Chain A
Amino acid sequence: MKLIHTFLKGGVFPPEHTRTARDAATWNAMIPARCVVPLLQHSGVPARRIVQRGQRVNEGAIIGAARAYESARVHAPIPGVVSEIIQLTLADGRQSEAVVIELDGEFQQLGRSIKPRDWRRLKNRRIYEQISDAGVVGLGGEGVPSHTKYVLPKTAAVEWLIVNGCESEPYLSSEYRLLRERPQQLVEGIQILMRLLSPKRTVIALAGHTRSAVSGLRGAVAAARSRIQLQRLAGKYPQGDEHTLVGSVAGRAVRGAATVADAGCMVIDVATVLAMYEAVLLGKPLVERTVTVSGGAIAQPGNLKVRLGASIGDLIEECGGFCAAPRKLVVGGPMRGHAVTDLTQPVTKLTSAVLALTEEELQSVGQTACVRCGRCVRACPMGLEPVMLHLLIAQHDWRAVVKAGVFDCTECGCCGFICPSGIPLVDQLKQAKSQIRREEHEDGERAH
């Protein structure tokens, strides 16, 4: 094992939650009596609804079919009856149709032990089918359907397969729990990917507190006689981002606007590997995921294995409810997550965490004028100058904004976190991006 590596430029050290959920074992959340299952739980095109109101569905039945290659199947997390079809605003602001299922009938999968299939006998094509049939998407990030992401790139061979065992954000501890609790399955899942992609090197990257999972992993790797390597990284945010991770592990700098696959690197997070494992070996569709419930206002922070479609209110209740008045309810991590006001928001494939933050934790800073301190410049891992972008955006100089690299921004949040003047830099960058895209689109229309 090499020395502790990290990406060089930028990054911040956000605080961790003091009452961390890291040391308690993951527990199974109660099965919700009612599930709200959005048909858009991934990046790309929403799934096509194939069930009607009043229809009876089994556990794991397909309720949304992949509409295109860049889409993913959606399954029924619980057996029951489709009571409603509703329109929903997701935590990230996107609109989606959602299927409401009232619990009724038998569980066919829960508690039943399935004999794992021998994946080594399966053809690659069959494995991809299994993955796409199970609706597996990236559980750590934007939810790119896995059968589209982990394919051999046309331009380059896969040189690095990097398993992202870094917690993607502060407060989160679900990756750590998975690393500690299911190392053998993880290693087996990685072996599947190694066969699909035949990477030159395979590395499990651990950062910050997940570094202490190293011994268990080492044992699992040795037991599987695999050539997977382990790499420890510094606990700096955003270590778990694809671009910085590839920088830290493979020493390759890929600009934010490009995919790391172009540089011959594949990054997959632990939860997704395990979802693939279950899809391929057990034929299990993706209907549950591990969610960290944490924050100063949560009575008992913990990691829960949750059926998709459960409401975030259910999870909070299961964690003892609020012990203090929350000032922000966040779906996702504190750096990239979305603030919501609605406890009925469903857990989706993209919900890595539910946080209830108190006033003290927010440390919010009233917005004042930029003091040109340059803290944002020094914090940006993509080497951008957020203060310059902020000034150019104010002038609506879109050409210059693009030239200054707005599309290389990975929206990691470091600049907005550190800015002592409380300027909502990330908001401004996001808005500028969509504005520029919109104008480009309109120009394109006009040209036709």
Chain B
Amino acid sequence: MNERTELNTSRLIVAGSPQIHDALSTTKLNWLVAAGVAPAALWGFIQFGLPAVTVVLAGVGAAALTEAVLPKRVGSVRDGNAILIGLLMSLMFPPAAPWYLAAVSAVFAVGIVKWAFGGLGHAILNPAVAGRVLAQVLAPQEMSRYAIPLALGGGEFEHGATAVMAVRSAAGSVEPLQRLQELGYPRSVLDQAVTAWLNEHLFEPVGVVLPSGYVDPFIGLAPGGIGETSALLLLVASAVLLGRRVISWQVPLAFFAGFAAAIAVWGSVAFGGVALRGDVLFHSLHGGVLFLMFFCATDNTGAPATGNGMVLYGLAAGVLAAVLRLFGLYAEGLAVAVLVVSFFVPLINHVTKPARFGFSRRRRKPLLYKPRG
């Protein structure tokens, strides 16, 4: 045997099959999702300035610290899970929320929702979502302080801090965008310019007119949660994560289907209109729906294990989110929808048990063929 086939056997690994592994590990998954929301977070910092930075720092710091000081169960700070929890949670906060509220909620999320239930993999609710909901319950006033982006002049919109809140609180047109216009909701020049261009080149030839007001929330010039405002950044990030199979497609797709259907049916009714005339686009672009469905609802924790279960879970959460948006106590903070559906996950897992190969689905009996031996 020549030197090219010399082998350092002490460096060889012997393990059972399979001998190779998929590129993703739990640690990588956490960091990849965190990287996915990072651009949206940066955009939030640019939009809302220092207050937003403090909220996120407080949330992430408190989450990491909690994980570090609590006795180890499973995992550690380095697996990125606690940091991801803190990050996702604080990105759903209004930029003007007090930083200590973010810190307290993060401690709750990591210390109670995750750790007290047994740590990584044992929690039954999504900690980030639970933290966000806790803050809403603790300080509903503070959690409604949404700032207008600095580019649109900063400050706070007097008729309800976000577009959705404004639409819900004031009377006026049935169409949400018109209602906003009547209230004098801030619009950027960009919005008008882009809408005009789109209409001229894209929509008019096919006989449709796009009302102005959709472009701002699409690129992210709107009041909202720190990381929730830019639909564009969130869509790009989730496309990348979906492509790498980091997040599932079942949950966001079903969530959107449920949400869109419910909004279409009741979206207009809520404002004195008729059924089936809801503005799906408006509601999808505003108020953190995309953030919730792509980054929070897709988290393992509090989600079902089976493919069909994920569809069911997504659908239910989507419909519930829409109902909360239209008729609930708080116009913002749809996160609670995810939390509620999580309670039903054991049931969902049970009814969507996968069909065993070669078994009939309903009776769970072997189809035709008996086992050998």
Interface positions of A (Cβ within 8 A of B): 9, 12, 14-15, 170, 243, 247, 252-259, 262-263, 299, 313, 316-317, 320-322, 325-330, 334-343, 355, 357, 361-366, 368-374, 377-378, 380-385, 387, 405, 407-408, 411, 413, 416-418, 420-422, 424, 426-427, 430
Contacts and interface: CB of A to CB of B under 8 A. Distances in A.
Given A255-B366, A327-B12, A371-B300, A408 B22 contact: no
B24 A430 contact: no
Nearest to A327: B13
Contact of B19 (A254, A362, A373): A362
Contacts of A15: 20, 23
Interface in B1-35: 1-2, 4-9, 11-29
Contact of A385 (B74, B119, B305): B305
Interface in B303-346: 303-307, 309-310
B121 interface: yes
Contact of A336 (B17, B303, B305): B17
A322 B4 contact: yes
A417 B23 CA distance: 9
Given A340-B14, A374-B306, A363 B121 contact: no
A383 B359 contact: yes
Interface stretch (B129-137, B232-240, B350-358): B350-358
A339 B370 contact: no
A364 B21 contact: yes
A424 B15 contact: yes
Given A343-B7, A383-B355, A427-B16, A378 B306 contact: yes
Given A255-B371, A373-B305, A385-B353, A338 B13 contact: no
A420 B24 contact: yes
A427 B23 CA distance: 20
Given A317-B2, A363-B23, A385-B353, A341 B15 contact: no
A422 B17 CA distance: 12
A328 B357 CA distance: 33
Contacts of B358: 243, 253-256, 258, 382, 408
A56 B81 CA distance: 67
Contacts of A342: 9
B16 A299 contact: no
A14 B300 CA distance: 22
B368 interface: yes
A420 B26 contact: yes
A369 B17 contact: no
B156 interface: no
Contact of A253 (B11, B20, B367): B367
Interface residues of B, number: 56
Nearest to B368: A263
Given A256-B358, A362-B13, A369 B5 contact: no
- What does DSSP make chain B's interface, helix, strand, loop or mixed? loop
Closest 4 CB pairs of A and B: A321-B4, A374-B305, A255-B358, A413-B18
A357 to B, nearest CB: 7
B304 A341 contact: no
A102 B22 CA distance: 43
A325 B8 contact: yes
Given A339-B15, A374-B300, A383-B359, A334 B120 contact: no
B305 A377 contact: yes
30 contacts: A9-B354, A9-B355, A12-B22, A170-B20, A254-B358, A255-B366, A256-B357, A257-B371, A258-B370, A258-B372, A259-B372, A262-B369, A313-B5, A328-B15, A334-B18, A334-B20, A335-B18, A336-B17, A337-B17, A337-B19, A339-B19, A374-B303, A378-B306, A383-B356, A384-B354, A407-B371, A420-B29, A421-B121, A422-B25, A427-B16
Counting chain B CB atoms within 10 Å of each CB, which of A170, A327, A371, A411 scores highest?
A: A371
Contacts of A418: 22
Contacts of B19: 328, 330, 334-335, 337, 339, 355, 357, 362
B91 to A, nearest CB: 21
B17 A338 contact: yes
A263 B59 CA distance: 59
Contacts of B368: 252, 254, 262-263
Interface in B92-144: 119-121
Counting chain A CB atoms within 10 Å of each CB, which of B309, B369, B371 scores highest?
A: B369
Contacts of B24: 420
Contact of A327 (B11, B21, B306): B11
Contacts of A339: 12-16, 19
B356 A371 contact: no
A247 B359 CA distance: 13
B20 A255 contact: no
A190 B19 CA distance: 33
Nearest to B81: A371
Contacts of A247: 357
A12 B6 CA distance: 34
A417 B5 contact: no
Counting chain B CB atoms within 10 Å of each CB, which of A316, A329, A374, A382 scores highest?
A: A374
Contacts of A328: 12-15, 19
A339 B11 CA distance: 13
B25 A243 contact: no
A382 B17 contact: no
Contacts of A427: 15-17
Counting chain A CB atoms within 10 Å of each CB, which of B1, B28, B303, B304 scores highest?
A: B1
Contacts of B17: 335-338, 411, 413, 416, 426-427
B301 interface: yes
Interface string B283-312: 000000000000000001101111101100
A263 B20 contact: no
A32 B30 CA distance: 51
A262 B366 CA distance: 13
Given A336-B17, A374-B310, A424-B16, 17 more contacts: A9-B354, A14-B18, A255-B369, A257-B371, A313-B1, A338-B17, A339-B15, A368-B74, A374-B305, A377-B306, A385-B306, A411-B17, A416-B17, A420-B29, A421-B25, A426-B18, A427-B17
Contacts of A372: 121, 300-301, 305
A383 B357 contact: yes
A377 B11 contact: no
Nearest to B372: A259
A325 B11 contact: yes
B301 A430 contact: no
Contacts of B1: 313, 317, 343
Contacts of B51: none
Counting chain B CB atoms within 10 Å of each CB, which of A255, A320, A407 scores highest?
A: A255
B75 interface: yes
